[in-house]
Amino acid sequence: MIHTDLGTTRCGGREFRWGERTYIMGVINVTPDSFSGDGLGNDIEAAVAQGRRFAGEGADILDIGGESTRPDSEPISEDEELRRVIPVIEGLAGEVSVPLSVDTYKPKVAREALSAGAGMLNDIWGLKHDPILADLAAEWDVPIVLMSNQRDTQQQDILPEVISCLQQSMALARVRGVRWENIIVDPGVGFGKTLEQNLEVVGRLDEIKCLGRPILLGTSRKSMIGLVLDLPADRRLEGTAATVAVGIAKGADIVRVHDVAEMARVCRMTDAIVRGPWREKE
C-alpha cells in the first residue's frame, strides 16, 4: 500500500483516507480562456451541469476556478473572479454531495467561496502570493492545496527546488495555524518548468513523499503532453491517462482532471495494481 501513514483528511463532510485509493478532482473552469479548451465562460448553468455530471462519473471533489492559469493569461480583478465562481459554488453546493474546492490565490475570493459552500482551498502560489489564505484555512478548518510554482524563477535542479518550495509553503501554513492533516502538496506540473522538468517531476514524484503529506498531481491536458505527442488540448486524453497511471504508481493521492469518467477508469485499474490487497502478501 502507498502512503499508509498520512492519516485522514476531512473535507465537506467526507473523509479522504489516504493510501486506500486515488481520489479524483474534477476541474470546472468558469473562464473564457482556459488552456485546456474547456472554459465555460459566464455560463453558470453549464458549469453546474458539468459539476453534476462529474459527480456522477466518479469525481470525489470538484475544483472551481474563475481565472485562467495559463502562462500568457491576464489576471482578473477580485470582483470579476467573484462574479464568475460564487454563483457556481452556490449552485453546486445545493446540487451535489461531493465537496467543492476553489482554485484561487486571492483571500477575498477564498473567503466568499468558503461562505458559499466550498470546503477546500487550492492555491497555485502555495501561500507565496498571499499567506492570508492560510489564516482562512485555519479559521474554517479546511484542507488547503499548496503548489510549487516556479514561474518567477529559473531552476536547473528541479526536484530539490520543488521540495524546498513546498517545505516553505508548509511552514507558512503551519505557523498560521493550519492543521497538519489539512495540508496537501502539489508539485505544480506546468508552472514555470520546462518540458524536461515536467517529465522529471512526474517520473520522480515518489521523492516528494518525503514531505509526509498527500500529493495532488495535475497533468491533465497540459502542454507537456501536447509537446510530446504533438496534439492540441482536446486530443490529449491518452497522454493524460499515461501521466495519471505513472503518477499513481509514483505516489499520487489525488489527480486533478478534465475527463472524469475516463480517468476514473484509469485510476481504478492502476489502483488495482499499485494498491491492490495482493501487495500485502509480499
Strand partners, 8: 17
Q: Scanning the structure block, which residue is given the C-alpha cell 493550519?
A: 178
Task: Identify the pLDDT of residue 33.
Answer: 56
Average pLDDT, integer, range 92-110: 96
Q: Is the pLDDT of residue 230 over 60?
A: yes
User: Using alpha carbons only, what angle is made at residue 220 by residues 61 and 265, rounded to the nearest 5 degrees?
Assistant: 65
Task: Return all residues near 208 (Cβ < 8 A) that are at least 6 apart.
Answer: 159, 162, 163, 166, 185, 187, 215, 251
Average pLDDT, integer, range 263-268: 98
Q: Is the pLDDT of residue 2 over 90?
A: no
Looking at per-residue confidence, does 98 or 35 come out higher?
Answer: 98
Average pLDDT, integer, range 183-187: 98
Task: Identify the pLDDT of residue 21.
Answer: 97
Q: What is the CATH number of domain 21-276?
A: 3.20.20.20
What are the tens digits of pLDDT across the range 8-50? 999 998 999 999 999 999 999 998 755 444 556 677 888 999 9
Average pLDDT, integer, range 215-220: 98
Average pLDDT, integer, range 228-239: 96
The percent of residues in the chain predicted with pLDDT above 70, rounded, is: 93
* Domain residue limits, the chain: 21-276
Q: Is the pLDDT of residue 281 over 80?
A: no
Task: Identify the pLDDT of residue 41.
Answer: 60
Looking at per-residue confidence, does 250 or 39 come out higher?
Answer: 250
- Dist. CA 240–CA 261, nearest whole Å: 13
Average pLDDT, integer, range 168-179: 98
Task: Identify the pLDDT of residue 5.
Answer: 81
Distances (CA, A) of 162 to 19, 80, 153, 172: 22, 31, 12, 15
Catalytic annotation, residues: 222, 256
DSSP-derived secondary structure for the chain:
---TTS-EEEETTEEEETTSS-EEEEEEE--SS-TTS---TT-HHHHHHHHHHHHHHT-SEEEEE-S--STTPPP--HHHHHHHHHHHHHHHHTT-SS-EEEE---HHHHHHHHHHT--EEEETTTTSS-THHHHHHHHHT--EEEE---TT---SSHHHHHHHHHHHHHHHHHHTT--GGGEEEE--TTSS--HHHHHHHHHTGGGGGGG-S-BEE--TT-HHHHHHHT--GGG-HHHHHHHHHHHHHTT-SEEEES-HHHHHHHHHHHHHHHT-GGGGG-
Average pLDDT, integer, range 237-264: 98
Average pLDDT, integer, range 158-167: 97
Measured distance between the N- and C-terminal CA atoms of the chain, rounded to whole angstroms? 11
pLDDT bin (cut points 50, 70, 90) of residue 121 is very high
The mean pLDDT of the chain is 92
Task: Identify the pLDDT of residue 36.
Answer: 46
